[in-house]
Amino acid sequence: MRACADYTAPRRPYTGAAVTLTTLADITAAAARIRGVARRTPLVDVTIEMADRIPLRAGLSFHVKCENLQPMGAFKIRGAFNMLARLLEGPPASRPHAGVITYSSGNHGQAVAMAARLLGVPAVVVMPTTAPLNKIAGAKELGAEVILEGTTSTARRARAEQEAAARGLVMMPPFDHPWIVEGQGTCALEILEDLAPVTCVLVPVGGGGLLAGGAAAIKQSRPRVRVIGVEPAGAAKMSTSLAQGAPVTLPSTSSIADGLMPVRPGDLTFRHVQEWADEVVTVDDAQIAEATLWLHDRARLVAEPSGAATLAAIRAGAIDHVLADGGAIAAILSGGNVTIERLAGLRQR
């Protein structure tokens, strides 16, 4: 494992099949490929606002990477556009002539829809029946056909595979593909370039694509920078898998962070996280709700619960052991697709 020398959390050795890990060159090439489509989102210093939880002190600062400002409101455009562009660059036989299909809780589906529209390719998105209405509407408005299927990532993946086989569509998985991982890794590259003194990067964990790509980018560039994944306590698939030494399928997941609820991490993403992430911590729904509202009320930033999980880890004390060392902490705010009604509902909790 290539994580920091002071990483101490227990994890079993990997026992699965070998996979090819994403290189820094792969991520750098993806950054060039998505330039002009994915925004170079700002890093906002929220150190002063965070003083309500953590007293100001010299040598410690907090920064938010605002991926909520991406087209369609989330980081997912990075991986989706990178993958579709690579498909179109490939040999004619492998190009998506009939179109592409994906399965998604919402944000990846919208990203695929946007990438497909920009590149002139038909798109189909399979979403859960519980998907937020604004995310369903977003994919449709971008020209995608939306199919609602089940409530779990397993159910929607099975339906997407069925549709792909019947209609000759090319699958664009939400996280477990090298071209998705390298695209998501471009977010962390920007953090390293824009925040020279960064000492720790917090990354939300759903299926693990953003953490896999981010950890690959950071550890192959500046290995002493800590990489910490954050997932809901009700969907702790990555931390459970790390403890077991292989991807684990949870019987079910439950969280207000709808974008972080796959029941299983990907095989590829798991290996990247095992190789390069320093640790994965969990936060509960109350902590996620508090962070979402704090971002809105104090930092003036709009985040969906999934996007606010990293701030929840800071505010709940889940990374206090890191703060003791000082330094610049960067938290990826991964998405902002939340309605006024949803925010009001969180406030009523």
- Enzyme catalytic residues: 76, 334
Q: What's the rounded Cα separation, in Å, for the pair 69 and 72? A: 8
Give the strand pairing for 60-66 and 43-45. Answer: antiparallel
The b-or-e profile of 275-304 (16+ CB within 10 A means b, else e) is bbbbbbbbbebebbbbbbbbbbeebebbbb
In Å, how far from its chain's centre is CA 47?
A: 23
If phi > 0 it is left, if psi is from -120 to 50 it is alpha, else beta; for residue 35 that is beta
Closest residue by Cα to residue 272 from 173, 199, 185 = 185
Helices (H), the chain: 24-34, 77-89, 107-119, 133-141, 153-167, 178-194, 209-219, 237-244, 267-276, 285-297, 305-315, 320-323, 340-348
Q: What's the rounded Cα separation, in Å, for the pair 153 and 266? A: 11
Q: What's the rounded Cα separation, in Å, for the pair 339 and 147? A: 22
**What 8-state DSSP symbol labels residue 120?**
T
Report the SS3 class of residue 130: coil
Residue 307 identity (one-letter amino acid): G
**Cβ-proximal residues to 115 (8 Å cutoff; 6+ apart), any chain:** 37, 77, 80, 81, 83, 84, 85, 121, 123
Residue where the block lists tokens 């199919």: 147
